[in-house]
Every structure is written in C-alpha cells, then in structure tokens.
Structure 1
Amino acid sequence: MENYRGYFNKILQVFFPNEFDKIIADTDRHYSTISVSTAFAITSKNPIDKRLDFSAYFLALIKTLDEKGESFDTIRQICLQIVTAYVQPKNKAQAFFKRLLPKLTNTLFGQILIKQFHKRTSTNSNSEGFIANIITDKTETFGIGYGIDIIECGICKLFQKYNYSRYASILCEVDEITSSLAGLKLIRSGTIANGAKKCDFRFKREI
C-alpha cells in the first residue's frame, strides 16, 4: 500500500464509521482498474506524472462515493480533507525544505534545476501524461523567475477517460494550500479542469 492510503482511511472512518470496510473495498476494486491507465507514470521521465497514482486512487474513491449516491459537495468535502492532511509537512525538516525551494530560484543551483525540470516536463512519451512549460521571465512571474504553464493535464485526461471530468477541479483547489506551505501566494487565471486552455501557475512571495 502507498503511504497516502492512511490519509484516506483516517478521513473515511470519520465520515462512514459503519460503512468504512465496504467503501475501502469498493475503492480498491475501482483502483485496480483505473491504475492500469496510470501504470506508465511509475517509469515516466516527466516528474509531474508521479502524482497520477495518487490521482487514480482519488478517482477510485470518487467513483465509489458517486455510486453510493453521495452529493458533489460531500465528495468534495471529503476529498479536500484527505488531500489537505496529506500535503501538510510532517515535521520541521519537511516544512523547512518546502520553504527553501522557492528561495533557490535565483541561485545558480536553482537555475540548473529549473532548466532540467523544464526539459523533463515539456515533452512526454505517453499521451496520457502531463506536458508543462517552466516560465523563467521575471516580468511574467512577479520577479520570482519561476512559474508553470500546464499545457496538458494528466489528471484531467484520467478523469475524462472514466467520465468523471466534473470532479477533476477538486484537486485544483489544493494548489493554493501547497503554494502557501512554500511561502507563496498562488496567482492563477484559469485551469484546464474548468475549461481554460492551460493552467497557469504564477506566484507571489507571502509577506
């Protein structure tokens, strides 16, 4: 089991104490099918693809709760509680490194990392994965010198493939939380999940 499963279990036990075992069993059953579509991510050279296994389990849970008859709002609430708990730093060291990475953008080491990241994210050998461009122009990135344009979203492709596109935007909401943990405020004009042509990630440093 991947380490994220514990976060699902903890929240689902709170919401469904009497139906927990069945919900987990149904989620695991759906995941066994959905995860076939994301198996490529394990060996993908594109680092953003690594989040697709997590997304596949999310989709499996969403499918389970939807079939159970839960409302969109309830499913959204459960999903956001799970992912919010998951992305929180687990210790002081993790919290430190989350805030350290943005500070490296204007260093030589940081620029090397950004170039390598762009090289690996701007193409994808699998049509079901992510494609992203890294933006380094300071005039376009509030002086930080780092931004991301997601051109093709692997999560949206996955949810669309299984006819659950309307739920994909739930995961977009978490980006503000992860940005804040890095000491940044997310500035975004749109997401692919909500009909935009790209997901533009721009950041401002929090005071």
Structure 2
Amino acid sequence: MTYLDPVPPRFESGTSYTLGFWVLQHGTHPFEGSMNPVGLRLTRADGKTMEFKGIGLAEAAHYSASVVVPKGVWKVEGIQGPFQPYAVGTLTVPGALRINPLPPGQADMIAQTEQRYWGDVRPPGFKPGTTTPAAEMPAASAAPVVTVTASPPPPAPASDGGVPAYTLLLAAAGGAVATWAVLGLPAARRRRRAEDEPDRTQEDTIVISG
C-alpha cells in the first residue's frame, strides 16, 4: 500500500510540488526485498499518463517525488516495485487531491501493530516506534603524564690532595710560563745585544798587498 504524507491544500497547473509517500507491505511494514521501481503515476481521463520517480529518503520505505501536473482530473497511483499499483486518490488541477479511504479494517490493523521501524518521522496514523538507545561509550582515559627530571652534571674529579684537576693544570701552565720568563728572556736579550753590536773582525784585520 502507498500512503501520502500531508499534501498542499491546492495544486496549480505548471507549479512544482514535492510529495512524500510511504510504500508498505500489507500497509503495515517495509518490504524486505527490492522495491524497484517506486514512484507516483498520474492518469488523466483522456488516457494521458505521467510517472514521477520516487527517491528514497532516510527512513525505511519513505520516498519523495517532485511533480508538475497540467490541468485536468488525474487518477493517482503508487508504483510499488513487484506489487500491483495502489490507488491513492484523485487530483484535480487546479484544485485539491482527494485521498481514497483505507480498506475496511486497515486503520485498526495499523493501530494494533507494534512497529519498530520509525521514530518521530513515520507514516501518517502510525504510533511512534520503540527505539533502542545506543550503548554509551566509556570515557577515554587521559594519557599518563610522564615527567622527566634532568640529572645534575657529575662533579669534576679531584686529585689525591683534594685539589681539582683543572686547578693543577692551570698551575702547571703558570709554572711553564714563569720558567720561560726566567730562562728565555735573558737569552733573548743577549741575542738582541749581539745583533746590535758591530762586527769588529773586519776592522781589526790589516790587509798587506804584495
């Protein structure tokens, strides 16, 4: 069976309208097989026929179709895949859509059926379905914080007498400089003095020519 969602109160020729509808097996639940094709078929008294393809919506067995209908009186049918078309009602353009009454006992069957397929968005006349709440996910635990503490640098090794090694190195370097100052400086002065004195060897030599 095909049920229409609430429709506009009036239809005009050449105006686009989007109609929602439900295709249900036995008029109570979605068909578990392949429902194809799905749509709305409009047939005028002169034999002109128009078909509007249904587009599946988020809810099970829920579809929509955009229609533009010329003037006239049209028989509206639901195209229901492998099942026979269902007579929905009569559309007069310009004018309104008159929905056919449900088959005898169908309204009682809908009221007594406990449905589990739809929530707030559901076929007209159906009670809200029971929904299973999603299981709560455990809260993610925070990642452990690792604190890294830098170790202080090790102290410099001390000599046997308790004096640090770098102190001994400085003392040795100072001694070497002092020794150079005592021994090297006089020698340098003597060399400089020898260079400054004139060479008297040539002056003391007498050349006698023969």
Q: Which structure's residues are more often strand, by fraction?
A: 2
More helix by share: 1
**TM-score band, normalised by the shorter chain?**
under 0.3
TM-score (norm 1): 0.23
TM-score (norm 2): 0.23
Larger radius of gyration: 2
